[in-house]
Structure 1
Amino acid sequence: MSEEAERLEKRLAEANAELESMQAAVADAEQQMDAFASTAFSDDGAVEISVGGQGEVTGVKFLDGKYRSMTASQLADAVLSTIQEARSHHSRMVRDLFEPLTGPSSGMSELSGIEVDWDRILGPAADLLPDEVSSRTANDRLRDEIDGDE
Protein backbone atom coordinates (compact mmCIF):
# COMPACT_ATOMS: atom_id res chain seq x y z
CA MET A 1 0.00 0.00 0.00
CA SER A 2 1.39 3.38 -0.96
CA GLU A 3 2.06 6.11 1.55
CA GLU A 4 -0.74 8.22 -0.01
CA ALA A 5 -3.24 5.34 0.30
CA GLU A 6 -2.24 4.79 3.94
CA ARG A 7 -2.66 8.48 4.68
CA LEU A 8 -6.12 8.49 3.05
CA GLU A 9 -7.13 5.34 4.91
CA LYS A 10 -5.99 6.85 8.20
CA ARG A 11 -7.91 10.05 7.41
CA LEU A 12 -11.04 8.04 6.56
CA ALA A 13 -10.78 6.13 9.85
CA GLU A 14 -10.45 9.44 11.73
CA ALA A 15 -13.48 10.84 9.92
CA ASN A 16 -15.53 7.73 10.78
CA ALA A 17 -14.50 7.95 14.43
CA GLU A 18 -15.38 11.66 14.52
CA LEU A 19 -18.76 10.96 12.89
CA GLU A 20 -19.54 8.20 15.40
CA SER A 21 -18.56 10.52 18.23
CA MET A 22 -20.85 13.25 16.87
CA GLN A 23 -23.74 10.80 16.49
CA ALA A 24 -23.28 9.70 20.10
CA ALA A 25 -23.20 13.35 21.23
CA VAL A 26 -26.45 14.08 19.36
CA ALA A 27 -28.14 11.02 20.90
CA ASP A 28 -26.95 12.13 24.35
CA ALA A 29 -28.20 15.69 23.77
CA GLU A 30 -31.60 14.39 22.65
CA GLN A 31 -31.86 12.28 25.81
CA GLN A 32 -30.93 15.25 27.98
CA MET A 33 -33.47 17.42 26.18
CA ASP A 34 -36.26 14.95 26.89
CA ALA A 35 -35.61 15.50 30.60
CA PHE A 36 -35.69 19.30 30.31
CA ALA A 37 -38.48 21.14 31.97
CA SER A 38 -38.90 24.82 32.51
CA THR A 39 -41.13 26.81 34.81
CA ALA A 40 -41.97 30.49 34.58
CA PHE A 41 -43.98 32.84 36.75
CA SER A 42 -46.06 35.80 35.63
CA ASP A 43 -44.71 39.22 36.56
CA ASP A 44 -47.41 39.65 39.20
CA GLY A 45 -46.84 36.18 40.66
CA ALA A 46 -50.39 35.05 39.92
CA VAL A 47 -49.56 32.33 37.37
CA GLU A 48 -47.01 29.52 37.18
CA ILE A 49 -46.52 27.67 33.87
CA SER A 50 -44.44 24.52 33.37
CA VAL A 51 -43.31 23.18 29.99
CA GLY A 52 -41.84 19.81 29.07
CA GLY A 53 -39.24 18.40 26.68
CA GLN A 54 -40.65 19.94 23.51
CA GLY A 55 -41.93 23.13 25.08
CA GLU A 56 -45.42 21.70 25.56
CA VAL A 57 -47.39 23.09 28.49
CA THR A 58 -47.39 20.47 31.25
CA GLY A 59 -48.78 22.51 34.11
CA VAL A 60 -50.72 25.66 34.90
CA LYS A 61 -51.10 26.90 38.46
CA PHE A 62 -52.90 29.94 39.77
CA LEU A 63 -51.03 31.08 42.86
CA ASP A 64 -52.26 32.59 46.11
CA GLY A 65 -55.75 33.29 44.78
CA LYS A 66 -54.43 36.40 43.00
CA TYR A 67 -56.39 35.45 39.89
CA ARG A 68 -59.63 36.21 41.75
CA SER A 69 -58.95 39.94 41.62
CA MET A 70 -57.94 39.90 37.94
CA THR A 71 -60.20 40.55 35.00
CA ALA A 72 -60.53 37.75 32.44
CA SER A 73 -58.37 39.75 30.04
CA GLN A 74 -55.63 40.30 32.65
CA LEU A 75 -55.61 36.62 33.54
CA ALA A 76 -55.49 35.58 29.88
CA ASP A 77 -52.59 37.98 29.27
CA ALA A 78 -50.75 36.65 32.32
CA VAL A 79 -51.22 33.04 31.20
CA LEU A 80 -50.20 33.68 27.58
CA SER A 81 -47.14 35.77 28.39
CA THR A 82 -46.01 33.26 31.01
CA ILE A 83 -46.39 30.37 28.54
CA GLN A 84 -44.26 32.30 26.06
CA GLU A 85 -41.64 33.03 28.71
CA ALA A 86 -41.44 29.36 29.78
CA ARG A 87 -41.19 28.19 26.16
CA SER A 88 -38.59 30.82 25.34
CA HIS A 89 -36.47 29.76 28.33
CA HIS A 90 -36.82 26.12 27.29
CA SER A 91 -35.84 26.92 23.68
CA ARG A 92 -32.71 28.74 24.84
CA MET A 93 -31.72 25.76 27.04
CA VAL A 94 -32.14 23.37 24.11
CA ARG A 95 -30.31 25.68 21.72
CA ASP A 96 -27.42 25.95 24.18
CA LEU A 97 -27.33 22.15 24.43
CA PHE A 98 -27.20 21.57 20.65
CA GLU A 99 -25.23 24.66 19.56
CA PRO A 100 -21.78 23.11 20.13
CA LEU A 101 -22.72 20.29 17.76
CA THR A 102 -23.60 22.62 14.88
CA GLY A 103 -20.09 23.96 14.26
CA PRO A 104 -17.35 22.30 12.27
CA SER A 105 -15.37 19.54 13.91
CA SER A 106 -12.35 20.75 15.85
CA GLY A 107 -10.39 17.67 14.81
CA MET A 108 -11.45 17.57 11.16
CA SER A 109 -12.34 20.87 9.57
CA GLU A 110 -13.77 18.99 6.56
CA LEU A 111 -16.62 17.73 8.77
CA SER A 112 -19.19 20.40 9.23
CA GLY A 113 -21.41 20.27 12.28
CA ILE A 114 -24.84 18.73 12.33
CA GLU A 115 -27.78 20.52 10.82
CA VAL A 116 -30.41 20.79 13.51
CA ASP A 117 -34.08 20.40 12.63
CA TRP A 118 -35.32 22.78 15.32
CA ASP A 119 -38.97 22.13 14.40
CA ARG A 120 -38.54 18.40 15.06
CA ILE A 121 -36.62 18.93 18.27
CA LEU A 122 -38.61 21.79 19.78
CA GLY A 123 -41.98 21.45 18.12
CA PRO A 124 -44.00 24.67 18.41
CA ALA A 125 -41.36 26.18 20.72
CA ALA A 126 -38.97 26.41 17.74
CA ASP A 127 -40.74 29.65 16.85
CA LEU A 128 -39.23 31.18 19.97
CA LEU A 129 -35.58 30.74 19.04
CA PRO A 130 -34.05 34.23 18.97
CA ASP A 131 -32.61 34.07 15.46
CA GLU A 132 -35.75 32.46 14.07
CA VAL A 133 -38.41 34.64 15.70
CA SER A 134 -40.70 36.14 13.11
CA SER A 135 -42.29 39.54 13.47
CA ARG A 136 -45.39 37.71 14.75
CA THR A 137 -44.70 35.90 17.98
CA ALA A 138 -46.24 32.64 19.13
CA ASN A 139 -48.18 34.70 21.66
CA ASP A 140 -49.72 36.74 18.80
CA ARG A 141 -50.68 33.57 16.92
CA LEU A 142 -52.20 32.05 20.07
CA ARG A 143 -54.22 35.23 20.70
CA ASP A 144 -55.49 35.06 17.09
CA GLU A 145 -56.59 31.47 17.65
CA ILE A 146 -58.39 32.37 20.87
CA ASP A 147 -60.09 35.40 19.26
CA GLY A 148 -61.09 33.20 16.33
CA ASP A 149 -62.93 30.83 18.69
CA GLU A 150 -65.37 33.53 19.81
Structure 2
Amino acid sequence: MTESMAERMAKARAHLEATQAAIARAEQDLRSTSETVRSRDRVVEVTVGAQGELTGLTFPDNKFAAMTGPQLAASVLEACDEGRRRIAERVMATFAPLTGGNPHVPGSRGVDIDWEGIFGSALSGGPQAGGRPSDRLRDEIHEDDTDTAPGGRA
Protein backbone atom coordinates (compact mmCIF):
# COMPACT_ATOMS: atom_id res chain seq x y z
CA MET A 1 0.00 0.00 0.00
CA THR A 2 1.46 3.37 -0.98
CA GLU A 3 0.85 6.57 0.85
CA SER A 4 -1.03 9.33 -0.82
CA MET A 5 0.67 12.67 -1.40
CA ALA A 6 -1.59 14.22 1.28
CA GLU A 7 -0.49 11.61 3.85
CA ARG A 8 3.18 12.16 3.05
CA MET A 9 2.71 15.92 3.29
CA ALA A 10 0.97 15.56 6.65
CA LYS A 11 3.82 13.40 8.00
CA ALA A 12 6.43 15.81 6.65
CA ARG A 13 4.61 18.76 8.24
CA ALA A 14 4.29 16.91 11.57
CA HIS A 15 8.03 16.12 11.49
CA LEU A 16 8.83 19.77 10.74
CA GLU A 17 6.61 20.98 13.59
CA ALA A 18 8.17 18.48 16.01
CA THR A 19 11.64 19.63 14.97
CA GLN A 20 10.69 23.29 15.42
CA ALA A 21 9.33 22.54 18.91
CA ALA A 22 12.51 20.63 19.81
CA ILE A 23 14.66 23.54 18.61
CA ALA A 24 12.64 25.98 20.72
CA ARG A 25 13.07 23.74 23.80
CA ALA A 26 16.80 23.38 23.13
CA GLU A 27 17.23 27.14 22.77
CA GLN A 28 15.38 27.73 26.04
CA ASP A 29 17.45 25.11 27.88
CA LEU A 30 20.73 26.46 26.52
CA ARG A 31 19.96 30.07 27.49
CA SER A 32 20.51 29.21 31.13
CA THR A 33 23.43 26.83 30.70
CA SER A 34 26.90 27.46 32.04
CA GLU A 35 30.15 25.64 32.68
CA THR A 36 32.39 26.03 35.70
CA VAL A 37 36.00 25.04 35.07
CA ARG A 38 39.22 25.07 37.06
CA SER A 39 42.58 25.65 35.47
CA ARG A 40 44.97 22.69 35.35
CA ASP A 41 47.05 24.22 38.13
CA ARG A 42 43.84 24.58 40.23
CA VAL A 43 44.56 28.28 40.85
CA VAL A 44 41.54 29.80 39.15
CA GLU A 45 37.93 28.78 38.65
CA VAL A 46 35.77 30.41 35.99
CA THR A 47 32.15 30.16 35.03
CA VAL A 48 31.33 30.64 31.38
CA GLY A 49 27.79 31.47 30.26
CA ALA A 50 25.73 30.17 27.37
CA GLN A 51 27.28 32.55 24.85
CA GLY A 52 30.85 31.94 25.98
CA GLU A 53 30.93 35.00 28.21
CA LEU A 54 32.81 35.00 31.50
CA THR A 55 30.20 35.16 34.28
CA GLY A 56 32.26 34.18 37.30
CA LEU A 57 35.88 34.21 38.43
CA THR A 58 37.23 32.91 41.73
CA PHE A 59 40.62 32.08 43.16
CA PRO A 60 40.17 29.02 45.39
CA ASP A 61 42.60 28.69 48.28
CA ASN A 62 44.37 31.95 47.30
CA LYS A 63 47.06 29.98 45.43
CA PHE A 64 47.43 32.92 43.06
CA ALA A 65 49.25 35.01 45.66
CA ALA A 66 52.62 33.47 44.81
CA MET A 67 52.16 33.80 41.05
CA THR A 68 53.39 36.45 38.69
CA GLY A 69 50.89 38.41 36.63
CA PRO A 70 51.62 36.47 33.42
CA GLN A 71 51.26 33.14 35.24
CA LEU A 72 47.89 34.15 36.68
CA ALA A 73 46.77 35.47 33.30
CA ALA A 74 47.73 32.15 31.69
CA SER A 75 45.64 30.24 34.24
CA VAL A 76 42.63 32.50 33.70
CA LEU A 77 42.87 32.20 29.90
CA GLU A 78 43.26 28.43 30.07
CA ALA A 79 40.16 28.00 32.22
CA CYS A 80 38.13 30.40 30.05
CA ASP A 81 39.16 28.57 26.87
CA GLU A 82 38.14 25.24 28.36
CA GLY A 83 34.79 26.61 29.54
CA ARG A 84 34.06 28.06 26.09
CA ARG A 85 35.00 24.74 24.47
CA ARG A 86 32.64 22.84 26.77
CA ILE A 87 29.78 25.24 26.04
CA ALA A 88 30.39 24.88 22.30
CA GLU A 89 30.38 21.09 22.57
CA ARG A 90 27.14 21.17 24.57
CA VAL A 91 25.46 23.33 21.94
CA MET A 92 26.67 21.08 19.12
CA ALA A 93 25.52 17.93 20.92
CA THR A 94 22.11 19.49 21.61
CA PHE A 95 21.47 20.57 18.03
CA ALA A 96 23.12 17.68 16.15
CA PRO A 97 20.05 15.40 16.30
CA LEU A 98 17.88 18.23 15.00
CA THR A 99 19.87 18.90 11.84
CA GLY A 100 19.00 15.72 9.94
CA GLY A 101 16.79 15.60 6.89
CA ASN A 102 13.05 15.02 7.02
CA PRO A 103 12.50 11.27 6.52
CA HIS A 104 9.09 11.97 4.99
CA VAL A 105 10.51 14.14 2.21
CA PRO A 106 12.33 12.13 -0.48
CA GLY A 107 15.80 13.51 -1.13
CA SER A 108 15.68 15.73 1.95
CA ARG A 109 19.13 16.62 3.21
CA GLY A 110 20.02 17.71 6.65
CA VAL A 111 21.23 21.16 7.57
CA ASP A 112 24.97 21.74 7.34
CA ILE A 113 26.13 23.95 10.19
CA ASP A 114 29.51 25.66 10.15
CA TRP A 115 30.34 25.10 13.81
CA GLU A 116 33.86 26.51 13.35
CA GLY A 117 32.33 29.69 11.92
CA ILE A 118 29.99 29.97 14.89
CA PHE A 119 32.37 29.09 17.71
CA GLY A 120 35.75 29.87 16.14
CA SER A 121 38.60 29.60 18.58
CA ALA A 122 36.42 27.94 21.23
CA LEU A 123 36.66 24.69 19.26
CA SER A 124 40.30 24.96 18.29
CA GLY A 125 41.52 25.73 21.80
CA GLY A 126 42.44 29.35 21.23
CA PRO A 127 42.83 32.01 18.60
CA GLN A 128 45.92 30.41 17.07
CA ALA A 129 45.72 27.08 15.31
CA GLY A 130 47.93 24.51 16.96
CA GLY A 131 48.38 26.27 20.26
CA ARG A 132 46.60 27.66 23.22
CA PRO A 133 47.44 31.19 24.31
CA SER A 134 47.89 29.99 27.88
CA ASP A 135 50.48 27.40 26.78
CA ARG A 136 52.36 30.13 24.90
CA LEU A 137 52.33 32.31 28.02
CA ARG A 138 53.53 29.41 30.15
CA ASP A 139 56.40 28.83 27.71
CA GLU A 140 57.36 32.50 27.93
CA ILE A 141 57.18 32.38 31.72
CA HIS A 142 59.47 29.35 31.74
CA GLU A 143 61.94 31.14 29.47
CA ASP A 144 61.85 34.22 31.72
CA ASP A 145 62.73 32.08 34.73
CA THR A 146 66.05 31.12 33.12
CA ASP A 147 67.08 34.73 32.45
CA THR A 148 69.34 36.55 34.85
CA ALA A 149 67.18 38.36 37.33
CA PRO A 150 67.79 40.62 40.30
CA GLY A 151 68.35 38.81 43.53
CA GLY A 152 70.93 36.31 42.23
CA ARG A 153 68.73 34.09 40.09
CA ALA A 154 70.46 32.79 37.03
> TM-score category by the smaller chain?
0.7 to 0.9
Range that drifts further, 47-56 or 111-120:
111-120
Contact 2:34 2:47 in 1 (8 A): yes
**Alignment partner, residue 67 of structure 2:** 70
Does structure 1 residue 113 correspond to structure 2 residue 110?
A: yes
Q: CA shift at 1:49, angstroms? A: 0.5
Change (3 A) 1:74 1:134: closer
Q: CA shift at 1:9, angstroms? A: 1.4
> How many residues are treated as equivalent by the alignment?
132
Does structure 1 residue 12 correspond to structure 2 residue 9?
A: yes
SS of corresponding position for 1:103: coil
1:81 pairs, out of 72, 78, 83, with 78
Structure 2 residue runs of 5 or longer lacking an equivalent are: 138-154
Q: What is the correspondence of 1:21-32 to structure 2 with a 5 Å cutoff?
A: 21-32=18-29
Q: What is the correspondence of 1:40-51 to structure 2 with a 5 Å cutoff?
A: 40-51=37-48
In 2, Cα distance between equivalents of 1:119 and 1:31: 22
Q: What is the correspondence of 1:49-60 to structure 2 with a 5 Å cutoff?
A: 49-60=46-57
Does structure 1 residue 128 correspond to structure 2 residue 122?
A: yes
TM-score by length of 2: 0.72
Structure showing greater Rg: 2
In 2, Cα distance between equivalents of 1:35 and 1:54: 10
In 1, Cα distance between equivalents of 2:121 and 2:18: 29
In 1, Cα distance between equivalents of 2:108 and 2:70: 52
In 1, Cα distance between equivalents of 2:68 and 2:7: 69
**RMSD, aligned α-carbons:** 2.9
Q: CA shift at 1:22, angstroms? A: 0.8
In proportion to residue count, which structure has more helix?
1
In 2, Cα distance between equivalents of 1:50 and 1:76: 16
Contact 2:116 2:123 in 1 (8 A): no
**Alignment partner, residue 95 of structure 2:** 98
TM-score by length of 1: 0.73
**Alignment partner, residue 31 of structure 2:** 34
